[in-house]
Structure 1
Amino acid sequence: MTPATQIAAVLPYDPHTARPWVARHDVEGVIGLPKPASQRPAPAGRSSRANGFVSCSPR
């Protein structure tokens, strides 16, 4: 079983998708792998605008 096939068996990725990651890891190590998505909350401007609309009284 190739490394890409092993990854695809554990994660929801096709071996075709995992193959470039394996090649990048072989060349660059862990630094070459994709970065995880940011877990930061939404910017304050977006949530404060939404809250303003919700707290407005109808006219």
Structure 2
Amino acid sequence: MYADVVDSNPKNRMRLQIDENLKRIYGETLSEPVPDRLMALLDELRKKAAATDAVDPSDLP
């Protein structure tokens, strides 16, 4: 029954097609690997955070 309602209204068909295309593109994007440059930046941030965590607060002025 739902398919009949969608098929009878051009706006509903258009919305359904847009929804399907967005889901497809989003799904493809999720399966893409993270770029090397971004991974390098994340690694730098992790190292800086680890170095900051390693500082003993009693050593600070």
State TM-score, norm by structure 1: 0.38
State TM-score, norm by structure 2: 0.37
